[in-house]
Amino acid sequence: MTSEMPGRPARGHQALQRSIAWYLRQLSRVMNVLSDDELDRLVPLLTERRFRPRQVIFSTGDPAERVYLLLKGRVKIYQVAENGKEIILDLVGRGGIVGDMAIVEGGERIACAQAIHETVAVSISWEDFSHLLQQSPRLGFAMAELMARRLAGMQRTFMNMVSKPVSARLADVLLNSQDGAVVHLGLTHQELAQTIGTSRETVTALLSRFVTMGVIAPLAGGYQVADPALLRLIARGEIQVSPRHPAGSQPSAVAP
């Protein structure tokens, strides 16, 4: 009995590491490509971090020191224009990675990251993560895919800004934020405006119009997509909705 006692904490620690590794695999497509041995090496390097709503995770110009995997919450990636306006580049949710663009940032952040909700993440130093990338071709390929998807999303956003009416851009954001038939944006009207390149007043007016038209219906903390076919027509620009004539005062599920 005594001879087994020293081994018990080690076995318990190993069981905990296996449990964390299993959870990371279920949570993240990127972590899912790692072998058992690679995950065993990764888990001890992770540190849990918690961020309050609206807490800045890093700012432009900061050294690119850590990479974050989100376990809970949502983070916005944004830049600040010369006129002081924020331009939201990406929204990252549970299972997503923040700070991975350090691979092309030359050691310095070129964007800001801020928690939208209460956010929990595990982080790893960029040095350790870079070493892991070099040792795992599968992880390197998964990260290349992730960055390609992110850049394609940004390109699509900028193309929409120059080619689509604002009602189509807003409808597109609603469609891409669906969880089933429910939209939980977690963004203020101002942040929605920064995402699609318009004003807060325009977003408020268009959401009111969408409600009046029966496209969406307000819910606590979000919207129910009441007419997905009509929402898709608006998103494609086949039906344009003017923000200039909001039909009455409608309840809003997103804080102005």
pLDDT tens by residue, 234-256 = 999 899 898 876 444 444 444 44
Residue 182 located in a structural domain: yes
pTM over 0.85: no
More confident residue, 221 or 3: 221
- Residue 138 forms part of a structural domain: yes
Rounded Cα gap, residues 30 and 37, in angstroms: 15
Q: Is 123 within a domain?
A: yes
Look over the chain and give the mean of its residue pLDDT values, rounded to a whole number.
82
Examine residue 113 and state whether it is found in any structural domain, yes or no: yes
Q: Are residues 68 and 149 in the same domain?
A: yes
Tell the residue number behind the tokens 């850590």, with chain if given. Answer: 66
**179: amino acid identity, one letter:** D
Q: Do 148 and 204 sit in the same domain of this protein?
A: no
Same-domain status, 94 and 133? yes
Contact of 171 with 164, CB cutoff 8 Å: no
Residue 154 sits in the same domain as residue 58? yes
Q: Is the pLDDT of residue 105 over 80?
A: no
Contacts of 209 (CB under 8 A, 6+ apart): 167, 241, 242, 243, 245, 246, 247
Q: Which domain holds residue 231?
A: 164-235
Q: What percent of the chain has pLDDT over 70?
A: 87
Whole-number pLDDT of residue 13: 58
Q: Are residues 171 and 227 in the same domain?
A: yes
Read off the amino acid at residue 23. Answer: Y
What is the reported pLDDT for 10?
54
- Give yes or no: residues 221 and 137 share one domain: no
Pair (168, 201) in one structural domain: yes
Per-residue pLDDT of 125-138, as tens digits, reads: 988 988 888 888 88
DSSP 134-151: HH-HHHHHHHHHHHHHHH
| 75, two tokens | 């983070």
Q: What are phi and psi of 139, to 5 degrees?
A: -65, -40
Domain CATH for 149: 2.60.120.10
pLDDT of residue 148: 83
User: Is 240 inside any structural domain?
Assistant: no
Q: Does 77 lie in the same domain as 144?
A: yes
Residue 124's pLDDT is 92
pLDDT band of residue 207 (cuts 50, 70, 90) is very high
Alpha carbons 32 and 26: distance in angstroms, whole number: 7
- 196 and 149 belong to one structural domain: no
Alpha-carbon separation of residue 140 from 31, 66, 68, 133, 134 (angstroms): 11, 17, 16, 5, 7
How is 76-134 classified by DSSP, letter by letter? EEEEE-TTS-EEEEEEE-TT-EESGGGGGTTTB-SSEEEESSSEEEEEEEHHHHHHHHH
Q: How far apart are CA 172 and CA 165, in angstroms?
A: 11
| DSSP code of residue 199 | -
Residues 120 and 223 in one domain: no
Residue 16's pLDDT band (boundaries 50, 70, 90)? low
Query: Does residue 219 carry a pLDDT above 60?
Result: yes
Tell me, what amino acid is at 123? Answer: S
CATH code of residue 199: 1.10.10.10
Q: Answer whether residue 34 is part of any domain.
A: no
In a domain, 103, yes or no: yes
Residues 143 and 185 in one domain: no
* Same-domain check for residues 122 and 53: yes
Question: What is the model's pLDDT at position 186?
Answer: 75
**Cα 66 from Cα 112, distance rounded (Å):** 13
The reply to whether 102 falls in a domain is yes
Q: Number of folded domains in the chain?
A: 2
Distance, in Å, from the CA atom of 139 to the CA atom of 38, rounded to the nearest integer, reads 10
pLDDT at 252: 40
Task: Show Cβ contacts of residue 16 under 8 Å, excluding neighbours closer than 6 positions.
Answer: none
pLDDT in tens, 152-192: 877 777 777 777 899 999 998 898 888 778 887 778 888 88
